[in-house]
Structure formats: structure tokens, C-alpha cells
Amino acid sequence: MTPTQDMLFRSLADPTRRALFERLCRDGGQTVAALTAKAGVSQPAVSKHLGILKRAGLVRDRQDGRQTHYSAEVKALRPLLDWTSEMASFWDKRIDLLEDLLKRMDQ
């Protein structure tokens, strides 16, 4: 498992966050207030969950006056759907580091 996949799994492992993300995918972008109205948890809790989703790249936010709009970034799920290309890119980067190390070992 790569760091990216691990982060996506962790972000979506929480049922409240998963529900928020699903709502954004299904119903399109909306404000924190609108999300809170249906989430069954407080607005600070919703904001915290959205922050975690944002760090994982699963949502993006946009300020609109005093309201913050959130929308889903479904593209962020791609690594989960494509294990092969994700692992290939992981090893490619690691072998770059290996080559750097081999150069330093020479000195």
C-alpha cells in the first residue's frame, strides 16, 4: 500500500466522512451549513471532517462571502482504482532514490 492509498483509506474509513463525501458526489457542491443540516453532527465536527477530506485531496473548498462551499474531487480516488499504476510509480520514485544513494556510496 502506498502513502496516497493509505491516506485515502484512512480518510474514508470514518462513516461520517464517507457520508459527507458521498453526499458531495451525489448532490454536487454545497455549503458547510447545508452539509451540517443533514449530517447529524455539529458544524465544527463537519468542518473538521471536511478538513481531513481536503488534506487527502478528496474535496476542494471555495469561499463565497461568509459561506464555504465544498465539492468532491472524484479524481482523487483514482489511485484506489488503479493499484498497478500506483505501485509502479511508487517503485519508480524509490529506485530514483536508490540511484542517488549509489552515487553517494561511491564517494
Partner 1 sequence: MTEAATELRTVTVEREIGYPPEKIWRALTQPHLLQEWLMQTDFVAEPDREFTFRGDWGSVECRVLEVDPPSSLSYTWGAMGLESVVTWTLTPTGSGTHLRMDQTGFRKDQEQAYQGAKIGWRRMIEKLEQVVAEETGA
Q: Write down the least CB distance from residue 77 to partner 1, Å.
A: 6
Interacting residues of 57 by C-beta distance below 8 A, sequence separation 6+:
73, 76
Binding stretches for partner 1 (CB under 8 A): 1, 3, 5-7, 9, 12-13, 18, 22, 25, 74-75, 77-78, 80-81, 83-84, 87-88, 91-92, 94-95, 97-102, 105-106
Q: Write down the least CB distance from residue 35 to partner 1, Å.
A: 17
The helix/strand/coil state of 45 is helix
